[in-house]
Amino acid sequence: MRSRAATLLIATGALAAGGFTLQTWVTPAWAVVRARQPALRLDSRAVAAGQGVTLALLGGFRALVADGTWIRMYTLWEQRDLPAVETLAHLVTVLDPRPVYFWLNSARILAYDFPAWRIEAAGGYDDVPAEVQRRVRHEQARAGLRFLASGREFHPQSPELWIEQANIELNRLVDLDAAAESYRRAWSLPGAPYYVARMHAECLRRAGRKAEALAWLVRLHPTLPVADDGAAAGLVLSRIRDLEKDLAVPPERADRPPP
Amino acid sequence: MRPVRFSLARVGLIAGNTVREAARQRLFNLFVVLALMLVLGARWFRDFSFGAPELRFLADCGFGAMAFFGSALTITATAQLFFSEIENRTALTLLAKPVWRAEFIVGKLVGVAGLTLLFCGLLTVLLAAVLWTREGALMQEFPDNFAQGRVVSYAMVAGAGAMQWLKLLILGALVLLVASFAQTQTFAIVTGFLVLVICHLQHLALAAYERSGSLFGMTASAAIAWMFPNFQVFAWADSLAAADFPGWGQVARVVSYGLGYVGLGTALAVFCFRKREI
**How many Å apart are CA A225 and CA A231, to the nearest integer?**
6
Nearest to B69 by CA among B35, B28, B104: B35
Give the mean model confidence (pLDDT) for residues A78-93: 91
Q: In B, residues 150-169, which contact A (CB 8 Å cutoff)?
A: 164, 167
**Residue A111 DSSP one-character state:** I
A249 compared with B17, residue with greater pLDDT: B17
Q: In B, residues 3-42, which contact A (CB 8 Å cutoff)?
A: none
Q: Which of A109-113, B69-73, B212-216 has the lowest mean pLDDT?
A: B212-216
Give the mean model confidence (pLDDT) for residues B84-98: 85
Task: Quote the mean pLDDT of chain B.
Answer: 88
Cβ within 8 Å, pair B50-A99: yes
Q: Which of A44-53, B45-54, B124-133 has the lowest mean pLDDT?
A: A44-53
**How many Å apart are CA B205 and CA A26, to the nearest integer?**
18
pLDDT for residue A42: 55
ipTM of the complex: 0.84
Task: Quote the mean pLDDT of chain A.
Answer: 87
Q: Is 60 exceeded by the pLDDT of residue A247?
A: yes
**pLDDT tens digit sequence for A150-180:** 999 989 999 999 999 999 999 999 999 999 9
Give the mean model confidence (pLDDT) for residues B148-171: 91
pLDDT for residue B1: 57
**How many Å apart are CA B94 and CA B103, to the nearest integer?**
11
Which of the four pLDDT bands, split at 50, 70 and 90, describes residue A57?
low
Classify residue B2: in a domain, yes or no. no
Cα angle, residue B79 at apex, residues B74 and B81 outer, rounded to 5°:
95
What is the total count of domains within chain B?
1
Cβ within 8 Å, pair A63-B264: no
The dihedral over CA atoms of A211, A216, A222, A226, expressed in degrees to the nearest 10, equals -100
Inter-chain contacts counted by CB atoms under 8 A, chains A and B: 162
Q: Which of A54-63, B27-36, B90-99, B180-189 has the lowest mean pLDDT?
A: A54-63
Cα of B264 to nearest chain A Cα, Å: 7
Give the mean model confidence (pLDDT) for residues A134-142: 96
**How many Å apart are CA A135 and CA A77, to the nearest integer?**
22
pLDDT for residue B177: 95
Cα of A15 to nearest chain B Cα, Å: 5
Is residue B250 within 8 Å of residue A48, measured between CB atoms?
no
Give the mean model confidence (pLDDT) for residues A194-201: 96
B217 compared with B123, residue with greater pLDDT: B123
Cβ within 8 Å, pair B238-A36: yes
Give the mean model confidence (pLDDT) for residues B225-252: 84
- Residue ranges making up the domain that contains B132: 8-274
Q: Which of A14-28, A52-66, B50-64, B220-234 has the lowest mean pLDDT?
A: A52-66
Which of the four pLDDT bands, split at 50, 70 and 90, describes residue B195?
very high
Which are the contacts of B179, defined by CB distance < 8 A and separation ≥ 6? Answer: B78, B79, B82, B83, B185, B188, B269
Burial class (CB in 10 A: 0-12, 13-18, 19+), A59: buried
Which of B268, B270, B272, B277 to mutate to probe the A interface, most A CBs <10 Å?
B268
A57 compared with A19, residue with greater pLDDT: A19
Tell me which range, A56-70, B201-215, B251-265, is most confidently predicted by mean pLDDT.
B251-265
pLDDT for residue B239: 73
Q: Which of B177, B208, B233 has its CB closest to that of A30?
A: B233
pLDDT for residue A66: 86
Classify residue B3: in a domain, yes or no. no
B164 contacts on A by Cβ (under 8 Å) = 59
Cα angle, residue A182 at apex, residues A179 and A186 outer, rounded to 5°:
135
SS3 track for chain B:
CCCCCCCHHHHHHHHHHHHHHHHHCHHHHHHHHHHHHHHHHHHHHHHHCCCCCHHHHHHHHHHHHHHHHHHHHHHHHHHHHHHHHHHCCHHHHHHHCCCCHHHHHHHHHHHHHHHHHHHHHHHHHHHHHHHHHHHHHHHHHCHHHHCCCCCCCHHHHHHHHHHHHHHHHHHHHHHHHHHHHCCCHHHHHHHHHHHHHHHHHHHHHHHHHHHHCCHHHHHHHHHHHHHCCCHHHHCCCCCCCHHHCCCHHHHHHHHHHHHHHHHHHHHHHHHHHHCCCC
Report helix angle A210-220 to A233-246, nearest 10.
Answer: 150
Which of the four pLDDT bands, split at 50, 70 and 90, describes residue A48?
very low
pLDDT for residue A98: 84
**pLDDT tens digit sequence for B96-141:** 888 899 999 999 999 999 999 999 999 999 999 999 998 898 888 8
Q: In angstroms, what CA-CA distances link A63 with A39, A53, B79?
A: 11, 11, 31
Which of the four pLDDT bands, split at 50, 70 and 90, describes residue A39?
low
Is residue A8 within 8 Å of residue B272, measured between CB atoms?
yes
- Both ends of chain A: CA-CA distance in Å? 97
Which of the four pLDDT bands, split at 50, 70 and 90, describes residue A33?
confident
**How many Å apart are CA A203 and CA A213, to the nearest integer?**
8
Which of the four pLDDT bands, split at 50, 70 and 90, describes residue A50?
low
Per domain, the residue ranges of chain A are 196-259
**How many Å apart are CA B110 and CA B116, to the nearest integer?**
10
Alpha carbon of residue A209 to chain centroid: 27
Q: Is 90 exceeded by the pLDDT of residue A112?
A: yes
Q: Is 80 exceeded by the pLDDT of residue B50?
A: no
Burial class (CB in 10 A: 0-12, 13-18, 19+), A222: exposed
pLDDT for residue A171: 95
pLDDT for residue A47: 47
Nearest to A103 by CA among A40, A168, A45, A147: A147
pLDDT for residue A59: 59
Which of the four pLDDT bands, split at 50, 70 and 90, describes residue B224?
confident
Nearest to B121 by CA among B154, B182, B71, B164: B164
Q: Is 80 exceeded by the pLDDT of residue A46?
A: no
Is residue A29 within 8 Å of residue B233, measured between CB atoms?
yes
